[in-house]
Chain A
Amino acid sequence: MSDEYENKSGYQAQSSETMTGTGSGVSPDMDYVRPAENPEQDLYHAHSFIEKWVFCQDAKVIGVQYFLTAVFTGVVGLILSWLMRLQLGFPGLAGFITAEHYYQFVTMHGMIMVVYFLTALFLGGFGNYLIPLMVGARDMVFPYVNMLSFWMFFVAVAVLMASFFVPGGPTGAGWTLYPPQTILEGTPGHGWGILLMLISLSLFVIGFTMGGLNYMITILQARTRGMTLMRMPLTVWGIFTATVLAMLAFPALLVSSIMMTLDKLLGTSFFMPTILKAGEVLEYGGGSPILFQHLFWFFGHPEVYIVALPAFGIVSDLISVHARKNIFGYRMMVWAIVGIGALSFFVWAHHMYVSGMNPWFGFFFASTTLIIAVPTAMKVYNWILTLWRGNIRINTVMLWCLGFIVTFVNGGITGIFLGNVSVDVPLSDTYFVVAHFHMVMGIAPLMVIMGAIYHWFPLVAGKMLDEKLGKWHFWTTFLGAYSIYFPMHYLGFIGVPRRYYEMYDSPYMTSGVGLNEFISTAAFIVGAAQLILVFNIVKTMKTGKKAEKNPWKANSLEWYTSTVPPEHGNFGERLPVVHRWPYDYNVPGAEEDYLPQTAAPSEVAHTEVEKT
């Protein structure tokens, strides 16, 4: 049995790196890096097609699996949003959309996009693919658990999708699933739909916990030699902090799911108050709906940052690479990420200003909410200062990054409105809120995802995506997204409530009708514009130009693998040794405009590079 696990590719333990100093007049120990603490990871190499592509233990394949599954759910979410816009823009045009269906679309669109699409895509997809490569590990630390994590996610998605086909259809309670209406008659999907949703969420949490442990321990305990925490790319910092948030916030979701399942199945009354229905008192009584809201938002608010922080991290790296300039204020960026993460556990009830909670809470949560704007604003300044006087390449990736900054600032500023209790009360449950959160955690992270796809596609597939098509893709998406969400702010100001199936002849809809038609049309175009990306990928895979190694001339380790795309084990015989941060671009005196993280001090002694 044992020969199966012999080191086939000849990986060797490398605890005795020899010290070499080749530069002129350089002392040899300036290149010294401590010997390896971790022994060489023994990897289980796949033996069959199934082990290699289905139940695979290679984090890169798992990342792609996560990515594709998440994109599939995202497409479902997109189609649901089309159906919603069809109803809102042209009421009655599609006769099959009843009010019940509309609520189901709203609910499933929200839940899918937030949890099953964005969270899974950033942490499961980008996290799995990039973490081991960027910190210089051969794989995640527990490859088997990592594989289980994906399949648990897959089952969760399957259960979620199954709810479209059960009697009564999926739940239509809104993505926040507020009791008591969630599980009472009259809400679409109050039987099977909500049960499957809760089961699916629980499975997702369990699956994610398995993955999250992997991401955290890989980053904390399995970095390569020389890779200190403060030399990690910000992508890794963003994903890491988001994972910590997820590990601590998902428990609240799990608990509220379990409790609501019991309310539904056993008739307990955790969240169910005494209810009069058509003159009769229901069997429920004595529970607290507000408790559910607290538990839900104790998960829900960190969840916003679970989506946003990886986007912050990734966009920082993309901007730095494509502006050929070091990231401005790296340490500040790291502390901002960590600070936002820590603060995000103390702001949850700003989603509940109108819920009837203890009125004193408004003051506390408005304060913490406005404090969290400080590190966020710091990050925006730093992105702009990174661009300032940089050698900017206006390519597709950079366009997506610029699009991100614009949409994020836009969404962030409306957030400051909504964070104040007195401003929030008239605006809550209007389209202003819809516009705000779509801008800040829908469109902005999506821009980063798109940028990241164009940036890392050469690494994953070994071919360069077409730039021209990419620019078309960007401009239609960016302008289209603005056409959708910018008018929504106005709809909110004139008081149009969200989640309404149809506005009929409401007096304030005189100017709203035309606007709704315009928004819907833009939504159809933007959704369809994503086909440009699909076409681009298909075309590139068929006829695209082969990517050279490290096509963007980037510094971070993922571009310095033994092969492109990287094989199992990532780095060939020897793991890279890191000597600097990944942001040494345009260092005065260097031959090239970039210094890889692996460049030893003696090799670059003649440049003006700073010690990092």
Chain B
Amino acid sequence: MSDPKIEGFELEKGFRGMAKDTGSDQTMFKGVHWGKAMMWIFLLSDTFVFSCFLIAYMKGRASTPVEWPNPSEVFALDAFGVPVPLLLIALMTFVLITSSGTMALAVKYGYERNRKMCGYLILATALGGLTFVGMQAYEWSKLIHEGVRPWENPFGAAQFGSFFFMITGFHGTHVSIGVIFLFIYCYKVFAGHYDEGKRGWFTKMRGDYVEVEILGLYWHFVDLVWVFIFAFFYLW
């Protein structure tokens, strides 16, 4: 996060600092935990995965001579008898951003070693994620009910359904994996594993609150991807 103190090394700001860090021995990212650096690089790789998905979607949509379904009609939801465009999607966005906020606070309280607050906030995040997945399941079933299939749909180009189910499905998988880990971490925080540095079940590495931040990075990334999907899939 902010600049750590490093023995025998004066940290400088900006690009000079970057040159100095890069030229130094031992570590390039000064004061960054191994696990955190790993998560960042993994997210970079995952960004390329989602980018490739979205690029494929763009290419598919740009080159189809058949009309593309209008998302604001396809994803409209009846509220009190009036079709409101993108209502469910707006709610899903709301839920995901809320959970992202609680996660950010959980990280903050984790570093302050406030076990209770951290645990409850992770729990809230996990529940938010679960709600999101539930709403997505509802959206999928609604669309399938309306006749949208991966290979065809009544509204227009067949690729619409293919890309929709694939990309939201892949994102939903990420959310689901995140929810599972959030529950595990929630348990570990409440059980105090990070306070006493208890060894992990598999990796046998000592626990630390930095792991909450690492999970937080992943969770914010899922939110970040949703921002792009929201813009490109529902608004575009």
Contact = CB atoms under 8 A, between A and B. Distances in A.
Given A34-B25, A142-B203, A216-B41, A258 B166 contact: yes
B187 interface: no
A11 to B, nearest CB: 16
Contacts of A269: 151, 158-159, 162
Given A267-B151, A270-B159, A288 B59 contact: yes
Contacts of A287: 60, 159
A15 B8 CA distance: 11
A489 B161 CA distance: 47
A149 B172 CA distance: 24
A385 interface: no
B199 A5 contact: yes
A38 B9 CA distance: 13
B45 A268 contact: no
A227 to B, nearest CB: 5
B38 interface: yes
Instruction: Determine the interface band of chain A, counting residues with CB < 8 A from chain B.
Output: 35 or more
Interface residues of B, number: 50
Contacts of B6: 37
A209 interface: yes
A286 B159 contact: yes
Nearest to B28: A220
B180 interface: no
Interface stretch (B29-37, B71-79, B94-102, B216-224): B29-37
Most buried by B among A35, A142, A217, A287: A217
Nearest to B9: A34
A190 to B, nearest CB: 18
Interface in A8-22: 15
Contact of B59 (A222, A256, A291): A291
Contacts of A44: 204
Interface in A126-149: 141-142, 144-145
Contacts of B204: 5, 44, 144
Contact of B8 (A35, A227, A267): A35
B38 A248 contact: no
Interface in A181-219: 209, 212-213, 216-217
Interface in B126-182: 150-151, 157-159, 161-163, 166, 170
Interface of A: 1, 5, 15, 33-38, 42, 44, 141-142, 144-145, 209, 212-213, 216-217, 220-231, 247-248, 250-252, 254-256, 258-259, 262, 266-270, 283, 285-288, 291, 294-295, 298, 578
Given A250-B45, A270-B163, 13 more contacts: A5-B199, A38-B27, A141-B34, A144-B205, A248-B48, A252-B52, A254-B49, A268-B162, A270-B159, A283-B151, A287-B60, A287-B159, A295-B56
